[in-house]
A = this chain, B = another copy of it.
Amino acid sequence: MSLNPDLENRLRDLLGARLSVTAADRGEHARSESLHSAPPPDAVVWPETADEVAQILAACNETGTPVIPWGTGTSLEGHALAYTGGVTLDLMRMDRIVEVRAGDMQVTVQPGVTREALNTELRATGLFFPVDPGANASLGGMAATRASGTTAVRYGTMRDNVLALEVVLADGRIIRTGTRAAKSSAGYDLTGLFVGAEGTLGVITELTLRLHGQPEEVAAAVCAFDTLDHAVECVTATIQSGIPMARIEFVDAATARAFNLHSGASLPEKPHLMVEFHGSPVSVREDAESFGALAGEFGGQGFDWASSTEDRARLWRMRHGAYHASFVLRPGARGIITDVCVPMSELPAAVTAAAADIEAEGLLGPIVGHVGDGNFHTLLLVDPENADEIARAKQVATRMAERAIAVGGTISGEHGIGVGKRGLMAAQHGAGWQVMGDIKAALDPRNILNPGKLVADRN
């Protein structure tokens, strides 16, 4: 495909060199961290203001041209790929921290600010933004996929931490959703509707986020368990006991092996929990002791406490690197990643069933998880040349999702739908998926906003 010439001229007049149709720029915006792939977009634009985004969208809407928002390109379900051509809207030049309001524990940012850049800026304020999906993603992209990660068990997800948005609609109208008040009952929760909409309902051009006080005391530890069951049952017991965990992460024996091979760790090749506590010195000590006692009941052993900031940073860098580290277990493989999330009481059975299915299929699939939320991932390592193996891995992933749905869980805890999980939406939502399509049609009647993602194709 190539861009409508009138549209190209119009965008060129508006953006000058911030419109590109070169193969290099287009190819750079066809990257994907997962197995999903698509041809490059027809053009890439780099707007610098909401008004430019509005003019781009209005122009694309007139010609029915797809617009695909792009942040850091780290999404895992093909969200930012241009399956039907069109214009990729690279928002990374909109990277200004607009205003820090420390007294209200809020910040307003543009969508291209990354979470690490924000936290660097906040360091002196005593505040931080806790949502941490691992990748140094853009905050706009994190809002669009309703991201979460290791700290959601304590601080919530993007759903809980986005207070207000500026959004450009398909026809170029600019709206503001939400307020800077702590709560509001003034009409439909449009903020909540755009968070997690994956760029299919509008383009986020500004976000107001909740901040949190940097904890006075932090302690982190890793400990091993003899079996996967014991580790996961310990998690369920911990959450049910009400110990306020800041992080509680599971990694299986294969992942521990990957850490040893890839990250220079020296962990026993057993399932582990990695935990963190935030609070006052007194409360952190109490919480850590309570967790230690509980872990002991499930055979937790070899507690290794990371008390310095550097040790903790190393621990969580290793955990966040699990995705990349795991490829050491099968060089040359590609990964199919799963993302189910289930009620806490269902977690041990769900993880055990996933592990058994992977083993029964003779696949390699390390398991990690934000288990305090009931969310876990398997990284199914497949030979990209082996169609049969890929098919079997996809069946394992589908069965995992179907089991999650059957026990009241979800096919995606944090990665979103994109193209990768769209085939499972009807199974999870039934007629509710049609309602999502009805809302999409009302807000984007020409279907220009990230088409082919999340909702069903139109008839």
Residues of A at the B interface (CB closer than 8 Å) are 101, 103-106, 145-148, 152-153, 157, 159-160, 169, 173-177, 179-190, 192-193, 195-197, 201, 213, 236, 240, 242, 280, 282-283, 286, 339, 341-345, 373-375, 404, 407-417, 421, 425, 428-433, 435-436, 438-439, 441-443, 454-455
Contacts and interface: CB of A to CB of B under 8 A. Distances in A.
A417 to B, nearest CB: 6
A181 B417 contact: no
A342 B181 contact: yes
Contacts of A283: 283
Contact of A442 (B152, B185, B439): B439
A13 B213 CA distance: 60
A185 B146 contact: yes
A343 B183 contact: no
Contacts of A417: 185-187
A175 B282 CA distance: 47
A232 to B, nearest CB: 14
Q: Which of A213, A343, A407, A443 has the most CB of B within 10 A?
A: A343
Give the 5 A-B residue pairs with the shortest CB-CB distance, closest first: A180-B408, A192-B192, A442-B442, A184-B410, A103-B345
B186 A432 contact: no
B175 A101 contact: no
Given A192-B192, A195-B189, A438-B442, A182 B344 contact: yes
Number of copies: 2
Contacts of A180: 343, 407-409
A81 B278 CA distance: 48
A409 to B, nearest CB: 4
A182 B374 contact: yes
Contacts of A436: 187-188, 190
Contacts of A443: 435, 438-439
Contact of A345 (B104, B176, B282, B415): B104
A185 B435 contact: no
A179 B439 contact: no
B433 A181 contact: no
Contacts of A409: 179-181
A182 B435 contact: no
B196 A188 contact: yes
A101 B343 contact: yes
A78 to B, nearest CB: 14
B188 A197 contact: yes
A329 B213 CA distance: 42
Contacts of A286: 280, 282
B147 A185 contact: yes
Given A104-B345, A179-B410, A409-B179, A425 B186 contact: yes
A339 B146 CA distance: 30
A435 B190 CA distance: 9
B103 A240 contact: yes
A236 B104 CA distance: 9
Contact of A193 (B105, B188, B411): B188
Contacts of A410: 179, 181, 183-186
A165 to B, nearest CB: 10
Contacts of A147: 185
Contacts of A152: 182-183
B343 A106 contact: yes
Contact of A184 (B176, B189, B412): B412
Nearest to A159: B189
Given A181-B342, A185-B416, A286-B282, A173 B408 contact: no
Contact of A186 (B169, B177, B344, B428): B428
Given A180-B343, A185-B412, A410-B181, A159 B192 contact: yes
A413 B242 CA distance: 29
Contact of A413 (B101, B181, B412): B181
B425 A187 contact: yes
Nearest to A103: B345
Contacts of A339: 185
Nearest to A345: B103
B429 A187 contact: yes
Contacts of A428: 179, 186-187
Contacts of A153: 182
